[in-house]
Amino acid sequence: MNDSTAKDVAIPKVAIDWYRSTPWWRLASQSITISWRSTHIVLCALALLLTELWVSASHRIFDSESAPIQSWITPSGGINPIASQWDAIMPDTFLSVWQHYLNPMFRWLANPSVNGAADCVASYIGIIAIWSFVGGCLCRRSIVELGTRMTAPWADSARLVRNRWQSIAWSTTMPSGLILLIALGPLFVGWISDIPSIGVWLAGLLLIPVLLCSIGIGWCAAITLFGFPLSVCSIVTEKQADAYDGISRSAAYTFQRPLTLGLCVLAAQFLGMIGGGMLSLVLTSGALVVQASFDVGSFSSLSQLESVWSPILTSIVPLLITAYGFSFFWTASAATYLILRLDVDHAEFDLIDMDVETAPKTLPELPKKNSSEPVAIEENSAE
């Protein structure tokens, strides 16, 4: 072959589409950019304020004598000047947000009492009512954008979540209610053990079948602990999904693919720390510049300003940073749901209920009865 002929031969270039080779990578990388949008962070900040007020009021009413509850908002403590120390506030990680939602239950399990049970139930009423809507909206927008690469309008997302709000709440409360129902057995046996003479012997005999029921309690508890974000994602993703569909899918994905779920949680933990660190750096830097400029023009420091605005001003940045952690939690849960659904049901990412209302097709007009001549029926142009 001549050298001139070899030079004219076009050599095809081979490029690797990493998104097709590793479809999970696009979801993981895009979760950070979706979660730190201002609308998502502001919505989570408002939900955090409502949750903090509700949980604090419930604790004061039902269980004020116990230890103080853990705050949902990162304590501020002021922002240190640049000259002394740069004290950046890190947001809650993926597992930390998960722990926030489960804290009322574990708090009661650590110190069970009647007042504590009332506090736990009242707290979860507010938590489920607030975050079933907020989490549903964030999951819906995240799933549509991750699956179809299109941004879902807020109005359409809020309308769909409002119509399925009850199903989202029931998907979380039904496993918890079943746990409470099964827990009545040990409660009844505990009362029997107080009977003189034969109470302890009879209670020990009855505890054998009760302990066998602990398998069901553990199963329902696992669905509640690990599956509640997946059930929310299922209800806002699938067509005409309800609470039973959300529970069944979350249980199937959790127990059929535990390794995949664990890897997704570890990836979300790592990516959340990266995105949260970048957002904390941006917000803390801006707040430090504002504080330094204020200190130059004022006789007192912004963190030492004796005014009703001082605690509010020093809490804005920590609130926004904490809100990012919750925003990322729901976005990462949406990405995890799409990955698990692809692995279990082999459903593509873009297979999403877009909730589009189609107008019904009209039927052709029937001929009049009094007409003597046959009338031809024209076919509907829509068909």
pLDDT at position 83: 35
Length of the chain measured in residues? 383
Q: String of b and e for 295-332 (b: at least 16 CB within 10 Å)? A: eeeeeeebbeeeeeeeeebbbebbbbbbbbbbbbbbbb
- Domain encompassing residue 277: 36-70+87-345
| Strand residues in 248-300 grouped as ranges (E) | none
Token couple for 378: 């024209």
- 77 sits in the region (left: phi over 0; alpha: psi -120 to 50; else beta) called left
What's the rounded Cα separation, in Å, for the pair 57 and 51?
10
Give a yes or no: residue 228 inside a domain.
yes
- 240 sits in the region (left: phi over 0; alpha: psi -120 to 50; else beta) called left
pLDDT at position 43: 95
pTM of the prediction? 0.80
- List pLDDT tens digits, range 314-348: 778 888 888 999 999 999 999 999 999 998 988 88
Give a yes or no: residue 26 inside a domain.
no
Give a yes or no: residue 1 inside a domain.
no
* Mean pLDDT in residue range 81-96: 63
Of the two residues 309 and 159, the one the predictor is more confident about is 159
What's the rounded Cα separation, in Å, for the pair 267 and 261?
10
Give a yes or no: residue 49 inside a domain.
yes
Confidence of residue 16 (pLDDT cuts 50, 70, 90): low
What's the rounded Cα separation, in Å, for the pair 32 and 325?
10
Confidence of residue 53 (pLDDT cuts 50, 70, 90): very high
- List pLDDT tens digits, range 98-107: 888 888 888 8
- Alpha carbons within 13 angstroms on the beta-carbon side of residue 354 total 13
Give a yes or no: residue 107 inside a domain.
yes
- List pLDDT tens digits, range 189-236: 777 777 877 777 787 777 777 777 777 677 777 777 778 899 999 999
Give a yes or no: residue 14 inside a domain.
no
What's the rounded Cα separation, in Å, for the pair 192 and 307?
59
**What is the number of domains present in the chain?**
1
- List pLDDT tens digits, range 168-191: 988 888 877 777 777 777 777 777
Give a yes or no: residue 325 inside a domain.
yes
